[in-house]
Amino acid sequence: MRRTRRRTLAALALPAAVAAIVSISGCTSASTASGTTQAAGSGSKGTLTLGMSQDIYGWDPANQPSYQNWAGMAVYDQLMICNAQGTPRPDIATSWALKPANLGVTLHLRAGMKFTDGSPVNAAAVKASLIYAAKNGAGALRLAGLTIATPNSSTVVITLAQPDPLLTARVLCSATIASPKFLASGQVNNSPDGSGPYTLDSAATIRGSVYTFTKNPSYWDAKAFPYSKLVLKVLTSDTAMMDALKTGQVEGALVSANDYNEAKASGLNVIEMHGETTRLLLTDHLGKVIPALGNVDVRRAINMVFNTNEMAADLYHGLAAPADQIFRPGSAASISGLSNPYPFNVAAAKALMAKAGYANGFSVQLPYLQGVGLDQLLPYVIQQLSLLNIKATQVTLSGPNAITELLSGKYPMLLWPLGNYADSRADIYDYVLPTGIWNVEHQHDATVAKLWNQILTGTAQQQAAAEQAINRYIIQQAWFVPMAYPDLLYAHSPSVSIPSVSDPDALDPQLWDFK
């Protein structure tokens, strides 16, 4: 019996000993990681390690994400780089001349740039990349009408069939340029072949988990990228992201508002960006799906049951600013000094509903998608709508058809946080025009059409005036219920400096913002 007991105790003790050994080795490992962070913080600018909350699809230049695109920024260049105000600065193109009436551009390219495969970044490569983008990925629609001429190896002339005021924002500052040989290879997702400030270190990369890049020593603007190595870690869980931030495993990442206090308490710096406007979209302006929504008094009444100040303070816990218009403050369409056109007044709202003949309200379905940040907001919106006897019910969308169904026009009233852009013509294009993907009923409006034509063909002053006129019109027509500019949060270690965020979408710091 005694022998048995000893053996049992020995067997129980073995895993404990293993755990102790592992603890010691783990200790060593953690010390190493910590050392790296300290080295980066001490000014050596060795390794920058960032967290990404979603993985990239691959290296296809036509299929890079619209935010958290640090991998794409690391390996690819664009023709120009747009700053936080949407103003372009040189990248591959050193100078450019826009054609009148938004009908194209002539670009002069930087000399001496090379792709990873050693081939030159020239006019032929730019043309090949734009043609590739026109045939593949999300930008295909916008690029479809381009004609591209290359009078010499350093000049590209882009001509549009129709005026496009978003040529700079959505083509010149976003189309990624890659090696023509690579684009023709049919293997664009396996590894990148660009001319960017970093090159992918395939040996130290585990797809879906960790992407490692080493600095491209011959990059034309190498001084803008002080870190010799870039590591991007995919951390899809908020909990894992915060744990990694707190333990120094990553030095910067987007965090949710729920993690704001924890991030601050952990000694992290938190940057607040305002690239979204949460709004209720009332897209059935003609009342074809829900007749009541075709009545402007009903739309105005809906605006009047939301107290945006209280929403910002209570629902967003102070991590938001109340919104009176959908456009970003400071953008061309934004009306500065606008006081709330529809102040919170439930009694007046009810009177408007009665005047419109809808005192008994109506029924509507509000789609919900997990992970969009509507969990606290949607019940409040449903409750406030009920004050007008509007019976709103939540419809949960999920799976591959969720977005298609959301944008199908089946739901003429949508609660959604949508981007507000440095170039407010992009807001008009996406949310106001009948072709806009978020104008889900795609209903034509003569006033908007006339003003948009002025944007397409007018002078800069005429365009700005038309943008403001569209904003005034959609406020007066109550096409939206603007609610809040929520704080989008980027937490980072004090060892990393981010003097400013230059993203025109104001969603995250750009790779060149990390100093």
Residues that bind another protein (CB under 8 A): 1, 3-4, 7-8, 11-12, 15, 19, 21-23, 25-31, 33-34, 55, 57-58, 60, 63, 137-142, 188-190, 206-210, 233-237, 239-241, 243-244, 246-247, 249, 398-405, 407, 437
Q: Report which of 383, 384, 375, 378 is spatially closest to residue 411, judged by C-alpha positions.
A: 378
Instruction: Kindly state the smallest distance separating residue 405's Cβ from another protein, in Å.
Output: 8
Nearer residue to another protein within complex by CB, 30 or 149? 30
Spatial contact of 156 and 146, defined as CB atoms under 8 Å apart: no
Tell me how far CA of residue 420 lies from CA of 395, 423, 507, in angstroms. Answer: 25, 9, 10
Closest CB to another protein among 1 and 347?
1
- Minimum CB separation of residue 12 from another protein in Å reads 6
Residue type, 391: K
144 vs 449, which CB is nearer to another protein?
144
Query: Judged by CB, which is closer to another protein: 29, or 459?
Result: 29
Q: Which of 25, 153 has the CB closer to another protein? A: 25
Between 401 and 476, name the residue whose CB sits nearer to another protein: 401
Smallest distance from another protein to CB 437, Å: 5
- Give the gyration radius of the chain's Cα atoms: 26
Which residue number, 76 or 306, has a Cβ lying nearer to another protein?
76
Least distance to another protein, CB of residue 302, Å:
26
Q: Nearer to another protein by C-beta: 258 or 454?
A: 258
Strands 269-273 and 488-492: antiparallel
Please say whether the beta carbons of 395 and 363 come within 8 A.
no
Instruction: For Cα atoms 277, 283, 285, give the angle at the middle one, nearest 5 degrees.
Output: 130
CB 436 within 8 A of CB 470: no
d(CA 223, CA 197): 10
Q: Which two tokens stand for residue 28?
A: 């060593």
Dist. CA 410–CA 237, nearest whole Å: 32
95 in Cβ contact with 126 (< 8 Å): no
Measured from the CB of residue 24, what is the shortest distance to another protein in angstroms?
8
Closer residue to another protein, CB minimum distance, 10 or 359: 10
- Cβ 51 to another protein, closest distance in Å? 9
Minimal distance, residue 7 CB to another protein, in Å? 7
The contacts of residue 102 (CB under 8 Å, 6+ apart) are 160, 163, 164, 165, 167, 456, 457
CA dist 14 and 26 (Å) reads: 18
CA–CA gap between residue 391 and residue 413 (Å, rounded): 12
Instruction: Please report, for residues 331, 360, 389, 480, the alpha-carbon distance to residue 353 in angstroms, rounded to integers and kept in the order given.
Output: 33, 8, 9, 17
Q: How far is the CB of 30 from another protein (least distance, A)?
A: 4
Nearest distance from C-beta of residue 475 to another protein, angstroms: 26
Q: Which residues pair with 280 in a beta bridge?
A: 415, 481
φ, ψ at 397 (rounded to 5°): -105, 140
Q: Return the structure tokens found at 81.
A: 């780089």
Smallest separation (angstroms) from another protein to the CB of 401? 3
Report the nearest approach of another protein to the CB of residue 57 (Å): 5
Annotate 81-146 with DSSP letters as a single string. Answer: EE-TTS-EEESSEEEEEEPGGG-EEEEEEPSS-B-TTS-B--HHHHHHHHHHHHHSSTTHHHHTTE
Q: Give the nearer residue to another protein in terms of CB position, either 209 or 447.
A: 209
Q: Please, which residue, 51 or 294, has the CB nearer to another protein?
A: 51
CB count in 10 Å sphere of residue 451: 24
Q: Which is nearer to another protein, 238 or 272 (CB)?
A: 238
> What single-letter amino acid sits at 234?
V
Name the minimum Å distance from CB 52 to another protein: 11
Q: How far is CA 90 from CA 6, 79, 116, 248, 394, in A?
A: 75, 7, 20, 34, 47
We find the least distance from the C-beta atom of residue 125 to another protein, in angstroms, to be 22
Residue with Cβ nearer another protein (253 or 511): 253
Phi-psi region of 81 (alpha: psi -120 to 50; beta: other; left: phi over 0): beta
